[in-house]
A and B are shown apart, each in its own frame.
Chain A
Amino acid sequence: MANRTIIPFGPQHPVLPEPIHLDLVLEDEKVVEAIPNVGFVHRGLELLCQKKSFQDMVLVAERICGICSLIHGVGFVQGIEKVMNLEVPERALFLRVFWGELSRIHSHILWLGLAADAIGFESLFMHSWRVREMVLDIFEETTGGRVIFDAVKVGGVRKDISKETFTRIMKQLDKVEEEYKQIAEVFIKDFTIIHRWSNVGVLSKENAAKLGAVGPTLRASGIKSDTRMLKYGAYEKIDFEPIVEHTCDCYARSLVRVKEVYQSFDIIRQCYNKISEGEIETKVTGFPTGEFFSRVEQPRGEVIYYVKGNGTKFLDRFRVRTPTFANIPPLLQMLAGCDLADVPAIIISIDPCISCTER
């Protein structure tokens, strides 16, 4: 039997923008087991619901993460709106989808850049992030923010987009898509990328289901599951099918994200064509009473917001289960049996967001 060695991976590592630690048990160069360690910067944001009103908690929810900020807000307000029986204006629901899909585009392009960087493809990293900047410009123009938007509120949205601005933004998005096509082709066809990610970090369809994988990690293992198919909000009026890949490896996970960016462009166009004039918020009176598990699809997968109101402005419970938290057990499965040199590529392939996990 080969000698066993334990190598600590993280919390500081060039491939990790945020702190997560893994104890990698090796036999020669092969990983036989990985023990995860999170909790370095646990913030306890969930407890703030007992000190801040349910309306202020939207701002807390949006600050859980700087990448998928808006969708965190949507998940939370959707739960509150359910327990308060609020009828949200259709225009507000479409605007949430518009910004949500824009968030997905910027998150996936951000990931593509980081993934390219993790395998030493610096120029692709820079081009990816250059395109992402164009998306952030649209956020800045429509919400005033580039990272945290504060665009969502209980009962609707805080900001509207005029018809002229919307039309101009759609033209900008055409340009973004043109630029994106050039980098997407590299991710799909480049020999080095295919060679580096194919048959690496394989998560079988059976294991993905058993271990509770979510988002692109799940869909890259051949399972057609996307929380947006619950048809929450304006997704009820949007036509789309989840993107699925079947090779179950790092390359498949990148392909799912590459294709989901195109899908988000399409959903945004549907929003533009289907959105009608009208109110962007409904008046909120009273306090939440009751409970609901609100589920929405983040760029990284399904996120759950549990809200329990008690008839006062404070909630009894505000609970968030983030997609990265759900993807840690599947990650351990992917790492078992891999080469040490593949560990960074495999970890990055689940698109870990520790900021979300340490909510």
Chain B
Amino acid sequence: MFEQQEIINITKEELLSRVTPLFKDEYRLVQICCTRLDKLIVDYTFDKDYKFLGLRIELPLEGSELPSITDVYFAAFAYENELHDLFGIKVIGNKIDFGGKFYRINEKTPFNKKQEA
């Protein structure tokens, strides 16, 4: 049996206004993940009583910025540092910003490059 998964496309300007009511409605932040295609796709995943809800934002490959949601979901700080270190997305207002040193890796933004098979 597979769960139903609802994913809603939003813009980065809408992010905080979408996330705040979810927090008030006791949704849990499950994870934030980014996928590199011909653009960057950032997925915010939430759960309440085993109901899956996703918010999806599309960003350009280079020079992307996002507002931090750590004022609402403090636990997002780790995911937002990950977005910065692996994909080069600048997250503005992260409450615990490691300034690019969350992961000790030699290569900058390694996940924002196409790998050779």
A-B contact number at CB 8 A: 92
CA of A91 to CA of B58 in the docked complex: distance in angstroms? 41
Q: Is the Cβ of A209 less than 8 Å from the Cβ of B28? A: yes
Among candidates A35, A236, A316, A319, residue contacting B33 with C-beta atoms closer than 8 Å: A319
The CA of A209 and the CA of B35, in the complex, are separated in Å by 27
Give the Cβ gap from B94 to chain A, nearest Cβ, in Å: 13
- Contact: A321 with B96, CB < 8 Å? no
* 9-residue interface stretch from B9-17, B60-68, B72-80: B72-80
Q: Does A314 reach chain B (CB closer than 8 Å)?
A: yes
Give the residues from 3 to 57 in chain A that come closer than 8 angstroms, CB to CB, to chain B.
35-40, 42, 44, 46-47, 50-51
**What's the Cα separation between A295 and B31 when bound, in Å?**
11
Q: Is A344 an interface residue (CB 8 A)?
A: no
Interface size range of chain B in the complex: 35 or more
Shortest CB-to-CB span from A43 to chain B, Å, is: 10
B30 near A50 with CB under 8 A, answer no
Option from A40, A236, A317 in Cβ contact (under 8 Å) with B1: A236
Distance A329 CA – B78 CA, assembled complex (angstroms): 8
Q: Is the pair A40, B104 in contact by a Cβ cutoff of 8 Å?
A: yes
Picked from B30, B37, B102, B116, the residue with its CB within 8 Å of the CB of A39 is: B102
What B residues does A302 contact at CB under 8 A?
Answer: 30
The yes or no answer to B59 lying at the interface (CB within 8 A) is: no
Q: Give complex CA distance A321, B43 in Å.
A: 12
The answer to whether A50 touches B31 (Cβ under 8 A) is no
Among the listed A230, A236, A293, which residue makes an inter-chain contact with B50, where contact means beta carbons less than 8 Å apart?
A230
Q: Cα distance A15–B110 when bound, in Å?
A: 32
Asked if A329 meets B75 with Cβ closer than 8 Å, knowing A47-B115, A232-B1, the reply is yes
Complex CA–CA separation, A39 to B102 (angstroms): 6
B105 touches A42 (CB 8 A): yes
B86 to chain A, nearest CB (A): 8
**Are the C-beta atoms of A39 and B104 separated by less than 8 Å?**
yes
CB of A47 within 8 A of CB of B110, answer yes
Q: In the complex, which residues of chain B have a beta carbon less than 8 angstroms from the beta carbon of A44?
A: 105, 110-111
**Cβ-neighbour of B105 out of A39, A225, A319 (below 8 A):** A39
Q: Is the CB of A328 within 8 A of B103?
A: no
Q: Is the CB of A47 within 8 A of B5?
A: no
B2 and A82 within 8 A (CB): yes
Q: Is A195 an interface residue (CB 8 A)?
A: no
Are A321 and B28 in contact, CB atoms less than 8 angstroms apart?
no
Contact A209 B103 (CB under 8 A): no
Complex contact B104–A42 (CB within 8 A): yes
- In the complex, A44→B37 CA distance in Å? 18
Q: Which residue of B lies closest to A303 (CB)?
A: B31
A132 sits at the interface (CB 8 A): no
Question: Which B residues are in CB contact (< 8 Å) with A210?
Answer: 23, 73-75
- Beyond known contacts A37-B98, A39-B104, A44-B110: 4 more, CB 8 A cutoff: A42-B103, A212-B75, A236-B1, A306-B43
14 A-B residue contacts at CB 8 Å?
A39-B103, A42-B104, A42-B105, A82-B2, A210-B74, A212-B75, A230-B50, A292-B5, A293-B5, A293-B43, A293-B45, A317-B36, A329-B78, A330-B75
A residues within 8 Å of B by Cβ?
A: 35-40, 42, 44, 46-47, 50-51, 82, 209-212, 225, 229-232, 236, 292-293, 295, 302, 304, 306, 308, 314, 316-317, 319, 321, 325-326, 328-330
Closest 9 CB pairs of A and B: A39-B103, A329-B75, A321-B31, A50-B115, A212-B75, A317-B35, A42-B103, A319-B33, A212-B29
